[in-house]
Chains A and B, each alone.
Chain A
């Protein structure tokens, strides 16, 4: 393959790489990708067209067309400024690649392709960007090296190439050079990326647009609305459990609590009028939301939310502390936490006190009353058919405590009813009545709503919680992969001596078969990409710095321990000899060869004259010729003009003329040297 062809291939691959980046970011759709790809392919096979279209006025025409088209696009067509810039970028790339002539033109195309990645960086947060980035790095390195070969091979006026041309002299080593350069660049890039301080100001509006709000995580949810979500296999979030938290995958009943509903109108649950409070960040850059009660274990969770368009903070109940990149959060009296102005991808850390397993709760019936303002809204009921409370009383007959009754209802629903995502209505009955007495099948919303309503009819405060099930455990990254289909509803019931306890009546289908090892590895790679690239922050840098300093302290301790160990006596003579050898080597290398040769070529009489002049403070400057020094010495000491001139003439004759001094000349020189000595003495 010739270097010219290789440069061309690299150029086209770079453009394809840029297009892939834009596609990953969602800045161009499949149709746009197809159109641009076709144009790219057309340009490869249209060599005659490329030769013909390069006219003197074409550049100006293209520039004018680009300016007009870009203005029109920004004003009327593009949704955002970024879209307009992307369209302009694509136009420039295609215009340039259709007019490729000199090898240097490929560099312009490479720069434009690089800026495609820049544009894509605002929205392509997936791990696919990593592969696009690495490909861009490899291709850029290769292309730049090839460009260098071609540039140096081209004939230039006044330039002679010694040996065979570069493309042959480098030969197969060129590929190795490119690979080595790319590897080195990748390592240095990684180092710089992690070291450059993160001091973002977030002032420019180049963020990606958030997706539409997902049904189910708003203040209102109708029965059956989760059906659409429960068929969605896209990723919702990843919950990383750090080391030291035990076997996280074995925690029973682990769920990610989100939004809480307390009002039911017979068809939909809504968030009533909770007391909302803004909480500001504490001095330690976190949010304190509760105190530890000493009942359940502490679980630390690190959340990486996909852009699902919700402001809700999901976490295992009950939240104690939250670390998030926000100035303030909103908390209501039901424990729901939300964050204002969420970024495209939300990353936060939560510490929670999990529910302790309980055998029973000793609270007696009648602890809650509709007149009690604290629990009244959790006993609110719409007009219900009489058979619903009757069913509740029938199932819980003989229960000695409200907790036992709740457990019986939970078990009854899980045992006697089926789980289904087919939620077609069969009658005109209210949805809850139809579920309990006709279809006897539904999704988690029906189960949760039924349990909550029946508990309320028995006088037990209850509310419905929306969130996610735990998801799939990935041991390679120690995280739960939570998908949209893991969205879930369950019930919390209140007991004075225990607080709010979770009940999940849904007989959810068995978990799907686990994914393959390769799939888990790939997903773990995505997790690390989010964790260490997308969400790399100043806090992470500080932690790394502190860790390194701690290791440095350990190193200091090790050195101190070594210093305390007495060294054998024989070591010191060896050290002395090594030091002496080093000094001798430095002194030997300090006498450079050119200086030695220069000393050998200087006649002895001239060296004597220089020494005589040096005693008077006259020394030749670096680069000063003998004649120039002679003029300077004569100007400084006019009386020395004649002898110094004679000595200089003799020096020039001896050095450049290969003159052997005759006896008479030597005598004359001795006289001149004596004159210098006499005048110095005088």
Chain B
């Protein structure tokens, strides 16, 4: 396979409509020249062939020396546009590259096209485009292909598809359902009253940029002529276990919805400062907090696949025994 990879041409060239006209005219003139013995027809045919050759040479000159470096997003969530980019560098010392197109390939073919009229020698340019992936899990990005029609537009020269990176798409984040929000206020030991993002009212304070508009206390704001927000009481317990309830094998749609809810809930809690553990059939992310834990949980949810009920049940029971002191929130996955 290495040999085939090395032998595969770095570029492909294909005539455009005008290119086909040019080639057919050259062939026709060649036939006419042979039949008539007229050297001027040979001259005109040579002119068309010369244009073809020069087109190939110049298009190769602008394609040579281009280097692309992928810029991948830190997080990609299903259904949410992610910004993908590439750095285009012209490594040639003196020759600029003209009329370069970057084709961000879509699922079925060319997607968006980014056109660079000119890239000077030694210059770099960062280009970005949006990409939306519909499903969670591991995905390979379609890649980018460099093309050009320079100089005459009679041939389309394309490089190999490059920047095929593999990304992990996290489940889509959705607003936390109401029934899950109510469970966050459930009973548990070690109740303390402190500021947080719980559901009970802790205090009233002035509005600050970045606060959730839903927390504006309109009655107090009307009285004081200033925006006032409710400062909620943190959850009575900072230790939470999110349990995936079910096997997820019966209803794929329900599975995806449940995973999204679990991911959203986990992000909500973790960003509120809580410690979270994720458990499910054949799945366990131990109790932790912070950015790293959020990434671990999202990764586990992104890669989750339905398991047989027997193994799942056993794992769930084991998790239940170990974490008897944790507040448990169950999310159904069908």
Closest to A110 in B: B18
Cβ distance B299 to chain A, nearest Cβ, rounded Å: 3
Residues of A78-121 at the interface with B, using a CB-CB cut-off of 8 Å, are 107, 111, 114, 117-118, 121
Q: Is A656 interfacial (CB-CB < 8 Å)?
A: yes
Question: Which one of B150-158, B230-238, B251-259 is at the A interface?
Answer: B150-158
Given A118-B41, A165-B117, A160–B112 Cβ distance below 8 Å?
yes
Q: Using a CB-CB cutoff of 8 Å, which residues 53-88 of chain B contact chain A?
A: 53-54, 57-58
Chain B residues lying within 8 Å of A144, measured Cβ to Cβ, are 51, 151-154
Is B34 engaged at the interface, CB distance under 8 Å to the other chain?
Answer: yes
In the assembled complex, the Cα of A275 lies from the Cα of B220 at a distance in Å of: 133
- Stretch with Cβ within 8 A of B (4 or more), from A36-44, A436-444, A455-463, A620-628: A620-628
CA distance A653 to B296 in the complex (A): 7
Whether the Cβ atoms of B125 and A163 lie closer than 8 Å is yes
Q: Which residues of chain A are near B115, meaning CB under 8 Å?
A: 152, 159-162
CB of A534 within 8 A of CB of B39, answer yes
Complex interface: chain B residues within 8 A of A170 (CB):
98, 117-118
A125 — which chain B residues lie within 8 A by C-beta?
40
> Which B residues are in CB contact (< 8 Å) with A169?
117-118
Q: Which of B185-233 contact A (CB under 8 A)?
A: none
- In angstroms, how far is the closest chain B Cβ from the Cβ of A107? 6
Residue on A nearest B51 in the bound complex, by CB: A185
A148 touches B44 (CB 8 A): no
Least Cβ–Cβ distance between B297 and chain A, in angstroms: 9
Are A181 and B151 in contact (CB-based, < 8 A)? yes
**Contacting residues, chain A, for B34 (C-beta < 8 A):** 199-201
> Is there an interface contact between A163 and B118, defined as CB atoms closer than 8 Å?
yes
Query: Which residues of B sit under 8 angstroms from A196, Cβ to Cβ?
Result: 30, 42, 45-46
- Compute how far the CA of A136 lies from the CA of B44 in the bound complex, rounded to whole angstroms: 10
- Determine if A658 and B292 form an interchain contact, defined as CB atoms under 8 angstroms apart: yes
- Please indicate the chain A residues that have their CB under 8 angstroms from the CB of B308 in the complex: none
CB proximity to A under 8 Å, residues B135-179 = 138, 140, 149-154, 164, 166-168
Any A CB within 8 A of the CB of B181: no
Chain A residues, CB < 8 A from B94: none
Query: What 0/1 pattern do residues 453 to 484 of A give for CB contact below 8 A with B?
Result: 00000000000000000000000000000000
Give the CA-CA distance A177 to B62 in the complex, in Å: 12
Cβ–Cβ contact B46 & A193, under 8 A? yes
Q: Are A166 and B117 in contact (CB under 8 A)?
A: yes
Q: Which residues of B contact A152 (CB under 8 A)?
A: 99, 115, 117, 149
B315 lies within 8 A of chain A by Cβ? no
Q: Which of A202-210, A386-394, A502-510 contacts B (4 or more CB under 8 A)?
A: A202-210
Q: Bound complex: CA of A190 vs CA of B39, how far in Å? A: 12
Q: What separation, in Å, do the CA atoms of A163 and B57 have in the docked complex? A: 25
Chain A residues with CB under 8 Å of B21's CB are: 111
- Is A198 part of the contact surface with B, judged by Cβ < 8 Å? yes
Q: Is A124 an interface residue (CB 8 A)?
A: yes
> Which residues of the other chain, A, contact B38 by a CB distance below 8 angstroms?
121-122, 200, 206
List the B residue with the shortest CB-CB distance to A133.
B43
Among A164, A202, A656, which residue has its beta carbon within 8 angstroms of that of B36?
A202
Beta-carbon contact of A148 and B152 below 8 Å? yes
* Bound CA–CA A676/B81 (angstroms): 41
* B39 lies within 8 A of A535 (CB): yes
Q: Mark B103-115, 1 if CB is under 8 A from A, else 0.
A: 0000000011111
Q: Is B184 an interface residue (CB 8 A)?
A: no
Question: How many whole Å from A101's CB to the nearest CB in chain B?
Answer: 17
In the complex the two chains form, is A657's CB within 8 Å of B37's CB?
no
Encode contact with B along A592-633: 1 for CB under 8 Å, 0 otherwise.
000000000000000000000000000001110101000000
Do B39 and A536 have beta carbons less than 8 Å apart? yes
* Whole-angstrom distance between the Cβ of A414 and the nearest chain B Cβ: 45
B139 to chain A, nearest CB (A): 9
* A contact residues around B35 at 8 Å (CB): 200-204
Q: Which residue on chain A has the smallest CB distance to residue B18?
A: A107
A148 adjacent to B151 (CB under 8 Å) = yes
Q: Give complex CA distance A623, B32 in Å.
A: 50
Q: B42, B127, B298: which contacts A162 (Cβ < 8 A)?
A: B127
> What's the least CB distance linking A265 to chain B, in Å?
43
Q: Which of B47, B111, B166, B167 is in CB contact (< 8 Å) with A185?
A: B47
A189 and B1 CA atoms in complex are apart in Å by: 40
Q: Name which of A151, A162, A201 has the most chain B CB atoms within 10 A of its CB.
A: A162
Task: Give the chain B neighbours of A114 by CB distance below 8 A.
Answer: 25, 44
Would A200 and B168 be within 8 Å (CB), given that A144-B153, A163-B125, A622-B1 are in contact?
Answer: no
Bound: A249/B139 CA distance, A: 86
A278 touches B (CB below 8 Å): no
Residue A158 lies at the interface, judged by CB distance under 8 Å to chain B: yes
Query: How far is the CB of B300 from the nearest CB of chain A, in Å?
Result: 7
Q: Contact check, A204 vs B150: say whether CB atoms are below 8 A apart.
A: no
- Contact present for B295 and A657 (CB under 8 Å): yes
Report which of B29, B47, B98, B138 forms a contact with A656, defined as CB distance below 8 A. B138
What 1/0 flags go to A173-194 for Cβ under 8 Å of B?
Answer: 0000100010011111110110
**CB contact between A121 and one of B41, B117, B151, B302 (< 8 Å): that residue:** B41
Give A184's nearest chain B residue, CB to CB: B54
State whether A204 and B168 are in contact (beta carbons under 8 Å apart), knowing that A165-B117, A189-B47, A198-B42 are contacts in the complex: no
Q: Is B299 a contact partner of A161 (Cβ separation < 8 A)?
A: no
Assess whether B50 is interfacial by the CB under 8 Å rule: yes
A126 to chain B, nearest CB (A): 11
Asked if B299 and A657 sit within 8 Å, CB to CB, the answer is yes
- Cβ–Cβ contact A204 & B152, under 8 A: no
Q: CA of A169 to CA of B46 in the docked complex: distance in angstroms?
A: 32
Q: Can you name the residue of chain A whose Cβ is closest to the Cβ of B127?
A: A162
Which B residues touch A533, using CB under 8 A? 39-40, 43
- Cβ-based interface call for A156 (8 A): yes
Interface pair B58/A181, CB less than 8 Å apart: yes
Is residue B321 within 8 Å, beta carbon to beta carbon, of the partner chain?
A: no
B117→A145 contact, CB < 8 A: no
Give complex CA distance A129, B167 in Å. Answer: 62
Contact status B117-A159, CB under 8 Å: no
The verdict on A310 contacting chain B, using a C-beta distance below 8 Å, is no
Known: A133-B47, A156-B113, A653-B299. A625 touches B125 (CB 8 A): no
B295 near A652: Cβ-Cβ < 8 Å: no
Partner of B51, one of A117, A140, A535, A536: A140
Q: Is the CB of A625 within 8 A of B140?
A: yes
User: B5: CB under 8 A from chain A?
Assistant: yes
Distance in Å: Cβ of A264 to nearest Cβ of chain B: 42
Sort A-B residue pairs by CB-CB distance and give the 6 closest, nearest first.
Answer: A200-B37, A657-B299, A121-B40, A656-B168, A169-B117, A189-B50
Can you name 21 A-B pairs with beta carbons within 8 Å?
A114-B44, A121-B41, A122-B36, A122-B38, A125-B40, A166-B118, A170-B98, A186-B50, A188-B54, A196-B42, A198-B37, A201-B35, A202-B37, A652-B168, A653-B299, A656-B167, A656-B302, A657-B296, A658-B295, A659-B296, A659-B299
Q: Which residues of A contact B (CB under 8 A)?
A: 107, 111, 114, 117-118, 121-122, 124-125, 129, 133, 136-137, 140-141, 144-145, 147-148, 151-152, 156, 158-166, 169-170, 177, 181, 184-190, 192-193, 196, 198-204, 206-207, 533-536, 621-623, 625, 627, 649, 652-653, 656-660, 662
Given A184-B58, A200-B36, list of 12 further CB < 8 A pairs? A121-B41, A125-B40, A133-B47, A141-B51, A185-B54, A188-B50, A193-B46, A196-B30, A201-B34, A535-B39, A536-B39, A623-B164
